Chain A
Amino acid sequence: MRKPARILLAAAAAAPLSLAACGGGDEGPVTLRMTTWSASEDHLAMLSEIADAYIADHPDVEAIEFDPLPFEGYTSTLTTQIAGDNAPDLAWILENSAPDFVSSGALVPLDETLSGTDGYEYDDLIPAATELWREGDELYAYPFSTSPFGVFVNNDLLAAAGQPTAAELIASGEWTWERVVEAGAAVHAQSGVDGLVIRDFDYSGWDNLSTLWTGWGASAWSEDGTECGFDDPEMTAALTFMHDAVFAQEAMPGPGTTADFFAGEAAMTVTQISRAGLLAEAEFGWDLVPLPAGPAGEYSVIGQAGLGVLTVAPHPEEAADFLAYLTNPENSAKLAQYFPPPRESQLTAEVLGQANPLLTPEQLQTVVIDRIDAGVVKPGHTGQAQLDQAVRAALDPLWTPDADVAGVLAELCTAIEPLLAQ
């Protein structure tokens, strides 16, 4: 890789030192490095514990380091490290960069290692959960966190606005987007706090809107990724609905407004169930329910994070072996404390309940377990970063009160079609 750069640099400055650095050879125990975006002490302690147990049994691995990089700019920092010949062995991979990593050959295929590991129970992995991380038949990363989207509801705020609770709406079969927006608008009209927030959307993370438009049967692009889906009638209907909800009914906060559900500033929020931890100190009555039904019926969306071994890693083989250990059934159950596992056998209310003591078995059953198989993942495509940027820029004009929804979406498709064709 990039030999010219290396040679130039070595000649210019680094010759004696880099020779010394390279003198280690391949023999002897290695040190593995894994990048994460969580700097949480608890997460790192758990990972270190598993790593220590692994090292005890594997003399060929001397140490395993966990490098938390800032979440903000995570992929860029990772890329810089790769470009600078300092790739980690293992890396967490964000869902929205999954297609780029998976299809570019940046990751080591894992099928052989995983299925060849004793007691791994490879077939236990749920197909819907691994789909995003496959290319052809090969699995390139392990989806260590597979977390469906649900709706957190602040029952106190709904009650104050004279609205039925979410549970009551579900019982009466009225848990639909139409009704949710109506309730949100009522809350906003009554108390001024916001009705419904699609968390992390913030008028730029547009892939989070798939939690809404999937209810209309819309998708960002066709299954094979070649045709733009934004100008389809379903998408136009879904985004017109959203536009009205924001600007006409004022059920959702407009752009440039921050409303944190977990601080009691919104009646409802669409987000992943793993955020339940933020409710530990909540001073209001809350509930977690599945996404409301759209015109196309009931559906679910899952959010993921992957763990992969980089092709350019210093020790890809050892790293893949450690990955197999880290995600075997026993350790997967440990990881489940924080990250919902992609394993059929562990997707039980009991296992998940240990991880999410704030959630009731019913909530876990209805939101997570019943839905994960049917879950749609957020939109992903090769060249995702570029697409992401192009769609965000083209969607911006939509978020004004008198936007022409169909017109904006038609232009969006013109803008991204060359990218989809690549």
Chain B
Amino acid sequence: MKTERLTTQRSRRAKLLLYGLLCVLAVPFVFPTWWMVTSSLKSANDIFAFPPSILPADPSLSAYARVFEFAPFAAQYFNSMYIAAVVTVGTLAVSSLAGYAFARIRFPGHNLLFLVVLVGLLIPSEVTIVPLFQLFNGLGMVDTHWPLLLVPIFGAPSVLATLIMRQFFIALPAEVEEAGRMDGLGRLGLYWRIALPLSRPALGAVAIFSFLHSWNLYLEPVVFLSTPEKFTLPQALTQFTDAYGGPMWDVQLSAATLSALPVLIVFVVAQRQFVEGLAHTGLKG
């Protein structure tokens, strides 16, 4: 009896310790977002008060109104949304097809071609931005959304997606497809009817990766787009300066909050699917 109580006491203490540790670790993750949201409600002067106040003394949404006055922010918001959506859907199609073929079809040269594709994983976008700009300029696609759609869907950013899909499909037992083959399904049928429905978790992970990647793109929009109505959010965020290049902190923070909150909220609501999707990427090997 006595020892049992001791263990529960000890485990309770361990639990408290664990919670304490988690709380401390959580601070640097929560603090920036908290600071961003509360500061956006403060006036420009209060943002830099030292020591910073935890809650705005006199919260005001006026900076939010100025976000929309100053820039075609709604249009920019829409741009980011639809580009990320199209990129996500496109990447899902391209990477699941390629991933499936690399994993399950033994066509000649598949290993070599896979290595060729993998090169895309190794290149920072700063390296290829000038040639890409020349390419799209030659195609007359500068200052359109095409480069922001085509490159992520077909180019380097989708390679990670293809890798994830390949790893997932490799792990599928062969018997699963055997039944389909008996029914006389062709490759497309096997892919669409059998493999794809099973790969929902991996598709979820790819969707998250590609959505976030597109949503975060910074260098490419800055280089390719020049009309404010066509801008995307990250690019728009750096535009909140007065006519002399001086930053308008409160407006910038409001815009930053607006850009982050919806994704955060969707994430919090759907976080189980998010995390489990990522967890089942097949990266487990």
Contacts and interface: CB of A to CB of B under 8 A. Distances in A.
Interface of A: 5-6, 9-10, 13-14, 17-18, 21, 35, 37-40, 43, 67-73, 77, 80-81, 83-86, 199-200, 258-260, 263-265, 272, 274-275, 277-278, 338
14 contacts: A5-B134, A9-B131, A13-B135, A21-B140, A35-B226, A80-B223, A84-B133, A85-B138, A259-B48, A272-B244, A274-B244, A275-B246, A277-B243, A278-B242
Contact of B135 (A14, A38, A39, A77): A14
A96 to B, nearest CB: 12
Interface in B225-243: 226-228, 235, 238-239, 241-243
Nearest to A259: B48
A264 B134 contact: no
A413 B135 CA distance: 42
B243 A258 contact: no
B45 interface: yes
Contacts of A21: 138, 140
Contacts of B105: none
The 3 A-B pairs of least Cβ separation, nearest first, read A84-B133, A14-B138, A71-B245
B242 A77 contact: no
A215 to B, nearest CB: 23
A70 B130 contact: no
Contacts of B131: 5, 9
Contacts of B235: 70
A120 B246 CA distance: 33
Given A67-B227, A72-B238, A73-B222, A258 B134 contact: no
B71 interface: yes
Interface in B94-139: 129-131, 133-135, 137-139
Contacts of A83: 130, 133-134
B139 A18 contact: yes
A80 B71 contact: no
Nearest to B226: A67
B241 A71 contact: yes
A68 B228 contact: yes
Interface in B119-177: 129-131, 133-135, 137-140, 142
A80 B243 contact: no
A275 B227 CA distance: 26
B44 interface: yes
B45 A70 contact: no
Given A83-B130, A258-B48, A263-B45, A43 B243 contact: yes
Contacts of B130: 80, 83-84
Contacts of B71: 39
A275 B242 CA distance: 10
A77 B223 contact: yes
Contact of B243 (A40, A69, A86): A40
B142 A84 contact: yes
B226 A69 contact: yes
Nearest to B141: A17
Contact of A37 (B129, B137, B139, B245): B245
A265 B48 contact: yes
Best-buried of B142, B228, B244 by chain A (most CB within 10 Å): B244
Nearest to B140: A21
Nearest to B134: A84
B47 to A, nearest CB: 9
A86 B142 contact: yes
Given A40-B243, A265-B45, 16 more contacts: A6-B134, A14-B139, A17-B138, A18-B140, A37-B245, A69-B226, A83-B130, A84-B142, A86-B142, A200-B245, A200-B246, A263-B44, A264-B45, A274-B244, A275-B244, A277-B243
A39 B239 contact: yes
A274 B242 CA distance: 12
A13 B228 CA distance: 29
Contacts of A71: 241, 245
A70 B243 contact: no
A83 B132 CA distance: 11
Interface in B18-57: 44-45, 48
Nearest to A38: B243
Contacts of A68: 226, 228
Nearest to B250: A263
B139 A70 contact: no
Contacts of A264: 45
Nearest to A272: B244
A6 to B, nearest CB: 7
B277 to A, nearest CB: 35
A83 B133 CA distance: 9
Nearest to A86: B137
B135 A9 contact: yes
A85 B222 contact: no
B123 to A, nearest CB: 17
Nearest to A79: B130
A35 B222 CA distance: 14
A14 B132 CA distance: 12
A235 to B, nearest CB: 27
Contact of A70 (B44, B140, B239, B242): B239
Contact of B44 (A73, A81, A199, A260): A260
B68 to A, nearest CB: 13
A43 B245 CA distance: 14
B254 to A, nearest CB: 16
B244 A86 contact: no
B222 A70 contact: yes
Nearest to B241: A71
A21 B134 CA distance: 14
A200 B244 CA distance: 10
B48 A80 contact: no
A13 B138 contact: yes
B134 A77 contact: no
A208 B139 CA distance: 42
A5 B134 CA distance: 8
